[in-house]
Amino acid sequence: MDYKDYLPIFLDESKENLVRLNKLLLELESKPDNQELLNEIFRIAHTIKGMSATMGFNNMATLTHNMENILDDLRKGKLKADRDIINLLFFSFDALEKGLELISTSGNDDSPLLKEAIDRFSNKDKIIESRTVSKEGSSSKVTLDQYNILVIKEAIQKGFNVFEIHVKLRENTVLKSVRAYMVFKVLEEKGEIVYSEPSVTDLENEKFDLDFTVVFITKETVEAIREPILQIAEIESVDITPISIGEKIEVKKEESVSKVQEAIVEKEGTRSLSKMGQTIRIDVERLDELMNLVGELVIQRTRLAQIKEFDSTTDELARITNELQNLVMKVRMIPIEQVFNRFPRMVRDLSQESGKKVRLEIYGADTELDKTVVDAMGDPLMHLIRNAIDHGIEPPEERIRLGKQEEGLIRLSAYHEGNNIYIEVEDDGAGINIDKVKRRAIEKGLITEEIGNRMSDEDVYNLLFIPGFSTSEKVTDISGRGVGMDVVKRRVEELNGTIKIESKLGRGTKVTIRLPLTLAIIQSLLVKTSEEIFAIPLSNIEEIVKLEESDIKTVKNVEVLYSRGRVIPLYRLSNVLGLPSNKCNFAVIVRTAGKQIGIAVDDLIGEEEIVIKSIDKMVNSNRNFVGATILGNGKVALILDVNTLASI
């Protein structure tokens, strides 16, 4: 049987089963004698076992068979679901997740974590209580296959530089995977990464210690590469070693020069496998609607071609096109519960680790938004919840002393409002000490005492988004309030969203993230500057002001706008983009990164719904744009990144 044809179905159904299994295991921990839970968990293990065996993934099949045995003993009362048994089942769940990730990228389940879980079942009477994470992909030497070696040799012959870059993160780095992602992003702007150790998958899932190595092809010099990497927060060191054509590079034993073509084919096959899990299940009724609308569209197009009943036909065509557009947007929408479902287990583990009692309440998990947004929000939300547990929720004895419930509360919620979705992470913990934040900012030289005295609460909270800023006296294994918050902010702004912090000392903290429903289509304001048209996302705009020269002042060589008692920094769009200067008649007031700025433009064209198209990074070298759109007249308009403008 050629299982590859069925692999996408296997991956999708196994992921759904694991999501369900994780939820049931959490329930079983609080209801260890519940027969219904045990029966349902048994059925899921049995289903995964059957599918794995059919597909030839023997390690997954063996592990789920062992889970069946222990679950059967629990159902029959031969065993009790105590802490050791629950931890063993959770460890097995982690191993199954790891095995599934490996299958999606390599097509096999040869995972050390799966094998370790199988070994634990062979001696279940001596289950250790502490749950350890298996370290995979760790290697002190880069081992390249013959294909990569040929690529490197060809690059050197064409005059490129090839470097082995070893990056080490600082101790107690939070969100290691995000730091690795930022390093990769810097490098990809300067050349091509041909190999990484550990693998990209392990880096994304934080299955590495504090260092990683990449082989990199570029025209840049060593210093041009090292400096931007060192500017990333929490980077300890960067060692860059040139690779020359005469060097002996270790080759994987199973590879040979005669198998180069085979290696290329295998590499392409691996890429396709990694994409198989990136699917969305679509309701058949929605597909039927989509097909009907496409049929209507074809009919109207035919009528239009005959130039008969022109006006009514174009109106009908517009109606069908709008419905088709809305339906396609719905197809891209998935419930945010796919992200939210990760966190009950995480809160459970962190509560045990920290010795705190924490309850997680989830609201609005069925709220739908664009799949791209859902996929990108996992790490930021994980960090916010970690922060809430580590520096928000007090220890049980402290909460009792303060007259609070012994058990702390974290509330994770999502809801729609207009064309945006709001995600909130709220805790009932200690809150943020504004005076402490100011003192730390003054100590670090970020602000003066005079500026600190004039700062609003919101301005003080925004200090937490400065890379590396933290009020923690010591760094814990869980988090540090402020450490990594720059990463959260960066990820939210990459999605054209905003983030806001509210807090009351002694009562708790709430972080609110506002995001667009979809990244594909947005409402925008079209503006004109120097005869060029640009789009500004409507979600960032607060108001539009008619400019009078008397309202514009210069303070320390920076233009500001006086409007209704406010002083707002003003940037002439033509100056920012290096275009010829004209008279600016309007200021578009936008709010981003917690502050207001004014963008001065020549003229306003009006609101329009636009489809975002990505643009090449060479075109967007100054990072002032989030993309481009094609207007109704066929011309291209660039979409401004107001977050970048706000950081000028």
In a domain, 54, yes or no: yes
Pick from 500, 587, 585, 499: nearest CA to 543: 587
Asked if residue 472 and residue 349 are part of one domain, the reply reads: yes
Question: Strands 532-537, 636-640: parallel, antiparallel or unpaired by DSSP?
Answer: parallel
Which residue matches tokens 């296997």?
Answer: 10
Residue 454 has pLDDT above 50, yes or no: yes
Q: Choose one of 460, 490, 516: the last residue of a domain.
A: 516
104, burial (CB in 10 Å: exposed 0-12, middle 13-18, buried 19+): buried
As a whole number, mean pLDDT of residues 425-440 equals 93
State how far the Cα of 415 lies from the Cα of 290, in Å rounded to an integer.
27
Average pLDDT of the chain is 80
Q: Mean of the pLDDT values across residues 166-188?
A: 87
Residue 482 and residue 348 in one domain: yes
Q: Give the number of C-alpha atoms closer than 13 A to the C-alpha of residue 47, restricted to the C-beta side.
A: 16
pLDDT at 531 over 80: yes
Sorted by sequence, the CB contacts under 8 Å of residue 14 that are 6+ apart come out as 48, 51, 52, 96, 100
pLDDT (0 to 100) of residue 240: 92
Domain assignment present for residue 136? The answer is no
What is the C-alpha to C-alpha distance for residues 200 and 192, in angstroms, rounded to an integer?
14
Catalytic residues: 46, 68, 387
Contact 402, 505 (CB under 8 A): no
Separation between Cα atoms, residue 463 and residue 445, nearest integer Å: 12
**Overall average pLDDT of the 415-424 stretch:** 86
* Tally of CA atoms within 13 A in the half-sphere of 558 that contains its CB: 11
User: What pLDDT does 595 receive?
Assistant: 76
Residue 418 has pLDDT above 80, yes or no: no
Within a domain: 354: yes
Q: List, in sequence order, every beta strand (DSSP E) within 468-594.
A: 498-504, 508-516, 521-529, 532-537, 541-546, 552-555, 558-563, 566-572, 586-592
Secondary structure (H, E, C), 78-103 = CCCCCHHHHHHHHHHHHHHHHHHHHH
Q: What dihedral do alpha carbons 481, 487, 489, 490 form, nearest 10°?
A: 170
Residue 293's domain comprises 286-335
Where would I find the H helices in 495-562?
A: none
Of 240, 72, 77, 246, the closest CA to residue 149 belongs to 246
Which CATH number belongs to the domain containing residue 266 in this structure?
3.30.70.1110
Residues 296 and 406 in one domain: no
| Same domain assignment for residues 484 and 347 | yes
CATH number of the domain that 85 lies in? 1.20.120.160
364 and 441 both lie in a single domain: yes
- Report pLDDT for 570: 92
DSSP 445-480: TSS-HHHHHH--HHHHHHGGGSTT----SS--SS--
Residue 619 in any domain: the answer is yes
At residue 628's C-alpha, the angle toward residues 625 and 631, to 5°, is 140
The answer to the question of residue 632 being in a domain is yes
* Final residue of a structural domain among 335, 350, 370: 335
The CA distance from 331 to 342, in Å, is 23
Rounded Cα distance, 70 and 58, in Å: 19
Q: How confident is the model at residue 362 (pLDDT cuts 50, 70, 90)?
A: very high
Looking at the structure, tell me whether residues 326 and 345 fall in a common domain: no
Helix, strand or coil, per DSSP, at residue 107: coil
Q: For residue 372, with 0-12 CB atoms within 10 Å meaning exposed, 13-18 middle and 19 or more buried, which class applies?
A: middle
Q: How many CB atoms lie within 10 A of CB 547?
A: 19
Q: What angle do CA 505, 509, 515 make, to 5 degrees?
A: 150
Task: Flag whether pLDDT at 147 surpasses 80.
Answer: no
Q: What does the pLDDT average to over 323-331?
A: 75
Do 308 and 344 sit in the same domain of this protein?
no
Q: Residue 647 has what pLDDT? A: 63
The predicted structure's pLDDT at residue 265: 34
Instruction: Name the token pair of 240.
Output: 């860059």
Q: Does 562 share its domain with 633?
A: yes
Res 245: pLDDT: 54
Q: Is 254 inside a domain boundary?
A: no
The H-or-E segment that residue 290 falls in is helix 284-305
How confident is the model over 545-574, as pLDDT tens digits? 999 888 888 887 889 998 877 889 999 999
Flag the least confident range among 82-91, 305-314, 462-471, 551-560.
305-314
Averaged pLDDT, 600-617: 82
Among 298, 316, 300, 363, residue whose Cα is nearest residue 336: 363
Among residues 516, 536, 560, which one ends one of the domains? 516
Assigned domain for 280 exists: no
Q: Is the pLDDT of residue 477 over 70?
A: no
In percent, the amount of the chain with pLDDT more than 90 equals 26
> Most confidently modeled of 79-83, 219-223, 341-345, 506-510?
506-510
Residues near 413 by beta carbon (within 8 Å), at least 6 away in sequence:
362, 363, 364, 423, 424, 426
Residues 526, 568, single domain; the answer is yes
Closest of 497, 494, 514 to residue 421, by C-alpha? 514
Query: Are residues 165 and 44 part of one domain?
Result: no
Q: What are the C-alpha distances in Å from 249 to residues 127, 144, 191, 218, 586?
A: 43, 7, 21, 19, 61
In angstroms, the CA 393 to CA 59 distance is 40
pTM of the model: 0.60
In this prediction, residues 141-158 reach a mean pLDDT of 72
Q: Tell me the chain's radius of gyration from C-alpha atoms.
A: 28
What pLDDT shows up at residue 573? 92
In this predicted structure, the answer to whether residue 119 has a pLDDT above a threshold of 80 is yes
Domain count across the chain? 5
Q: Are 639 and 629 in contact (CB under 8 A)?
A: yes
Alpha helices by DSSP H, 477-554? 485-494
Query: Cα 516–521–526 angle (5° rounding)?
Result: 95
Q: Do 509 and 480 belong to one domain?
A: yes
Judgement on whether residues 235 and 99 belong to the same structural domain of the protein:
no
Q: Which strands form 558-563's sheet, in the order they lie side by side?
A: 541-546, 586-592, 595-601, 566-572, 558-563, 552-555
With vertex at residue 389, the alpha carbon angle to CA 388 and CA 395, rounded to the nearest 5 degrees, is: 125
pLDDT of residue 303: 62
The answer to whether position 134 is within a domain reads no
The CA-atom distances, in angstroms, between 349 and each of 386, 390, 478 are 11, 12, 11
Place of tokens 């481009």: 628
Mean pLDDT along residues 187-197: 88
Question: Each residue of 215-268: pLDDT tens digit?
Answer: 999 999 898 999 999 988 889 999 999 887 554 444 443 433 333 333 333 333
pLDDT of residue 142: 64
